[in-house]
Chain A
Amino acid sequence: MTTLDVRQHGQPYDAPPSGPLWSRYKHAHHYRSAEEEFDAVKLGMWLFLATEVLLFAGLFCAYAVFRMLYPQAFYNGSHYLDWKWGGFNTVILLISSYTMAMSIRNCQRGEFRRMRLNLAFTIFCGALFVLIKLVFEYTPKWSGYFFVLDPALHHYADSGKTALFGLFHYVDGYGGKRPGMWFNYAFASDPYEPLWWGVYYSATSIHALHVLIGMTLIGRVLLRSFKGHYGPSHYTAVEISGLYWHLVDLIWIFLFPLLYLIH
């Protein structure tokens, strides 16, 4: 009964320090075994992911109802979006999901350098996704300011107005594609287009928020991995952060065709 003292004092780690943190990790005191802890934590994470799916189900339902009522507004709406940016972002998220899954595999096999590289690359992909969304999609549509390297910029007449030291060029009349009462786009042809923008902005911005949260979780795992918290016998946090990241990918797999591809 040598393990009893460990549990009674609430110490998850072996008493005399020897070896890296992960190899000394037993389990939290309210579990009977590391296996039970892993299963319980994972089950809890899946229950949380279920609530996340239901959150997005509300948005999907709003999309379906309004699309059914105002198909022309949604037809116009999907044409305002550029499938190339959406497709590029899809590829970024898919690759990041792969590197996340690989980092768990690396952790299980004790390949810590590769694990950290994969985690860092996953965070980089998340940042790229949000950056593209902000610079090439949200900003021009909301305000009419195009990033100077945006390939779409040369399709429109130059208004000569710039912002942020010439990094952003203003195209007169392009902006104002906003939801509801903020709508200010003068060339819409369907009276219900503000509804489309409401669905578009709420769905994609809540998704982008999830990308940011996922990046934070993976960043935490990456930082703690330098201290030796995770290894072949203990990688619960890597696993559940990965589950969160895959869910973000999963949601985008559905948002992308709904918003960009269905005409």
Chain B
Amino acid sequence: MNHAHTPQPAGFDELDPHASGHGHSHGHHIISGFTLRAILIILLLLTILTVGQAQLEQYISTAFELNLPRWVNIAVVMAIAVVKGCLVALFFMGLKYDNPMNSVILCFTLFGVGLFLGFSMSDLASRGMIYEFKKGEILKGGLGNISRTMNGEPDPVPANTGIVAHARQKKMEEIGPEAYEKLAAQFAHGGHDATHQYPPGSTASRSRPRTGLTEGLFETANPASAKPTPESHGGGH
């Protein structure tokens, strides 16, 4: 029952017993200008590297007709992105000098992202292991048998055509097949630059090996050679 105050040192603040906010000095780390500049230069170099490897891969497949497996491209590009991300988080965002709790939050979030992506991917990649009859239940997505009369005009192409086939047919009816072919040549296969030569091994109709997909699960007719009939795409589900 002794309520007598123990003598406190001069300047003791009972609202802030540990003197965490003593005075105005925060004592925060000031990251040196040299470090920030060095990090920027490394980030720019890594950007050049990542663009360069994508170009190199294109060059190899054009010049030597050698198509590297798809995962090489993805792995290299993503590895560089992870290194760049770590540099930004550690130095620009200051996690290296910061309260470790903030790093814990970020790591835990990334763990959540990993769960999210990991389970989705492993589900998709292992669809081949489920029973035959269940395989057939999975429907293709994203085509939608939608009505195309958004602006109220009567649509000449039936509504149950797939979106891509529909766009093609409408253009053909608008300008005629000859004019269509002439225009199509200009867009070769989709590139922003019509003069660019795409590697012979990876045209739209002859792609690099498909990965991650159960054989025959999402079988489609060869879209490039398909006749644009109303039933050609997407109408059958």
Quick one: CB contact mask for B182-200 with A, threshold 8 Å, 1 for yes?
Answer: 0110110111111100100
Task: List residues of B (91-114) whose CB comes within 8 Å of A's CBs.
Answer: 91-94, 98-99, 101-102, 105-106, 108-110, 112-113
Q: CB-nearest residue of chain A relative to B194?
A: A155
Question: A57 to B207, Cβ gap below 8 A?
Answer: no
Q: CB-nearest residue of chain B relative to A69?
A: B218
Question: A172 to B224, Cβ gap below 8 A?
Answer: no
Task: List residues of A (1-50) whose CB comes within 8 Å of B's CBs.
Answer: 1, 3-4, 7, 23, 27, 32-36, 38-39, 42-43, 46-47, 49-50
- Kindly state the separation between the CA atoms of A83 and B26 in the bound complex, as whole angstroms: 44
- Kindly state the separation between the CA atoms of A39 and B184 in the bound complex, as whole angstroms: 59
- Kindly state the separation between the CA atoms of A120 and B220 in the bound complex, as whole angstroms: 52
Contact (A76, B51) CB under 8 Å given A101-B36, A263-B73: no
**Secondary structure of the A contact surface, majority rule:** helix
- Kindly state the separation between the CA atoms of A80 and B20 in the bound complex, as whole angstroms: 56
Question: A79 to B117, Cβ gap below 8 A?
Answer: no
Count of chain A to chain B residue pairs whose CB atoms are closer than 8 Å in the complex: 270
Contact (A191, B233) CB under 8 Å given A32-B21, A57-B113, A180-B142: yes
A71 within 8 A of B: yes
Q: CB-nearest residue of chain A relative to B54?
A: A261
CB distance from B118 to the nearest CB of A (A): 10
Which A residues lie within 8 Å of B205 (CB)?
189
Contact pick for A246, options B88, B108, B150, B195, CB 8 Å: B88
- Kindly state the separation between the CA atoms of A188 and B226 in the bound complex, as whole angstroms: 12
- Kindly state the separation between the CA atoms of A159 and B175 in the bound complex, as whole angstroms: 14
Question: B213 to A98, Cβ gap below 8 A?
Answer: no
A184 within 8 A of B: yes
Quick one: CB contact mask for A183-212 with B, threshold 8 Å, 1 for yes?
Answer: 111111111111100100000000000000
- Kindly state the separation between the CA atoms of A189 and B26 in the bound complex, as whole angstroms: 61
Interface residue stretch chosen among A88-96, A125-133, A162-170, A215-223:
A88-96
Question: B102 to A32, Cβ gap below 8 A?
Answer: no
Q: CB-nearest residue of chain A relative to B191?
A: A79
CB distance from B6 to the nearest CB of A (A): 17
A53 within 8 A of B: yes
A253 within 8 A of B: yes
Size of interface on B: residues with Cβ below 8 Å to A: 104
Question: B36 to A181, Cβ gap below 8 A?
Answer: no
- Kindly state the separation between the CA atoms of A243 and B113 in the bound complex, as whole angstroms: 20
Q: CB-nearest residue of chain B relative to A95?
A: B40
Quick one: CB contact mask for B9-33 with A, threshold 8 Å, 1 for yes?
Answer: 0000111100011101110101101
A116 within 8 A of B: no
Q: CB-nearest residue of chain B relative to A107?
A: B30
Question: B80 to A42, Cβ gap below 8 A?
Answer: no
Task: List residues of A (54-76) whose CB comes within 8 Å of B's CBs.
Answer: 54, 57-58, 60-61, 64-66, 68-72, 75-76
- Kindly state the separation between the CA atoms of A260 and B230 in the bound complex, as whole angstroms: 33
Question: A36 to B109, Cβ gap below 8 A?
Answer: no
Which A residues lie within 8 Å of B187 (CB)?
173-174, 187
Task: List residues of B (55-92) whose CB comes within 8 Å of A's CBs.
Answer: 55, 57-58, 70, 73-74, 77-78, 80-81, 84-85, 88-89, 91-92
- Kindly state the separation between the CA atoms of A101 and B198 in the bound complex, as whole angstroms: 41
- Kindly state the separation between the CA atoms of A186 and B167 in the bound complex, as whole angstroms: 5
Question: B21 to A263, Cβ gap below 8 A?
Answer: no
Question: B36 to A32, Cβ gap below 8 A?
Answer: no
Question: B192 to A82, Cβ gap below 8 A?
Answer: yes
Contact pick for A101, options B92, B116, B144, B204, CB 8 Å: B92
B237 within 8 A of A: no
A109 within 8 A of B: yes
18 example contacts (A-B, Cβ-Cβ < 8 A) are as follows A3-B15, A34-B21, A38-B28, A42-B102, A68-B125, A71-B211, A82-B192, A102-B36, A109-B30, A156-B186, A157-B186, A181-B146, A185-B167, A190-B223, A192-B142, A194-B164, A246-B89, A257-B77
| A interface residues (Cβ-Cβ under 8 A, vs B) | 1, 3-4, 7, 23, 27, 32-36, 38-39, 42-43, 46-47, 49-50, 53-54, 57-58, 60-61, 64-66, 68-72, 75-76, 79-83, 87, 90-91, 94-95, 97-98, 100-102, 105, 108-109, 152, 155-157, 172-174, 176, 180-181, 183-195, 198, 233, 242-243, 246-247, 249-250, 253-254, 256-258, 260-263
